[in-house]
């Protein structure tokens, strides 16, 4: 791994650490993931403001995945936009990759958007890929996304997919930073 990639990824983590120290909530813990473990975010903290933590940890996941692909894939392209819509977060080869921390919403509007985006990406000759960090996703939403045309990789499968396309072991990299930051 190049030291510049390491530095950029460390900077991303540190910026989120700074952001998280400004927003502290109380504790809990069901299923911890690698990002939670880096920042020592507990389930109790997340349960006090799930929307905040889901959004912020999701954006951290997106930025890390995008940066790894940007620096390690010669066939990297940024997000695909169609009008006001961002159909995916990044492109690697013919894979249109959208990153999600977790899919917990099964509302009709969200599922329709996923189906619509997959169709539009396929019309552009891309293969829609969802990389989801967590594995405690809403089963109905996962089924709808799969039926809608998305290839879904979550948890260790997401890490394996990333390692295959980038030659970078993100799971080990993140796990080696467990407890790196403490939110007080």
Q: Pull the structure tokens for residue 60.
A: 């951290």
Q: Pull the structure tokens for residue 137.
A: 């996703």
How large is the angle between the packed helices 156-166 and 50-72, nearest 10 degrees? 20
Region 3-175: CATH code: 3.40.1350
45, 23 contact by CB (below 8 A):
no
Q: Looking at residue 182, what is its pLDDT? A: 87
Whole-prediction pTM: 0.85
Q: Residue 100 pairs with which residues in a beta bridge?
A: 132
162, 131 contact by CB (below 8 A):
yes
Q: Looking at residue 28, what is its pLDDT? A: 30
Q: What is the mean pLDDT of each run of 10 residues along the chain (184 residues)?
A: 87 86 45 92 87 94 98 97 94 98 81 93 98 89 93 98 98 96 83
Q: Looking at residue 24, what is its pLDDT? A: 44
Q: Residue 132 pairs with which residues in a beta bridge?
A: 100, 154
What whole-number distance in Å separates Cα of residue 184 and Cα of residue 182? 6
Buried b (16+ CB within 10 A) or exposed e, 109-124: ebbeebbebbebbeee
What whole-number distance in Å separates Cα of residue 87 and Cα of residue 24? 32
């Amino acid at each position: 791994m190049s030291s510049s990639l390491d530095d950029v990824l460390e900077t991303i983590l540190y910026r989120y650490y700074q952001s998280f120290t400004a927003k502290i909530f109380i504790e809990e813990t069901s299923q911890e993931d690698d990002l939670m473990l880096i920042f020592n975010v507990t389930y109790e903290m997340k349960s006090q403001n799930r929307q905040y933590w889901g959004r912020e940890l999701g954006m951290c996941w997106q930025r890390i995945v995008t940066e790894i692909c940007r620096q390690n894939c010669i066939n990297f392209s940024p997000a695909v936009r169609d009008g006001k819509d961002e159909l995916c977060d990044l492109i690697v080869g013919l894979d249109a990759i959208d990153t999600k921390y977790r899919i917990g919403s099964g509302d009709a509007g969200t599922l329709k958007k996923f189906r619509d985006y997959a169709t539009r990406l396929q019309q552009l000759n891309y293969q829609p890929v969802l990389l989801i960090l967590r594995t405690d996703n809403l089963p109905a939403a996962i089924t709808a996304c799969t039926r809608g045309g998305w290839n879904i990789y979550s948890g260790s499968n997401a890490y394996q997919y990333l390692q295959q396309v980038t030659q970078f072991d993100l799971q080990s990299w993140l796990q080696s930073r467990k407890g790196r930051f403490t939110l007080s």
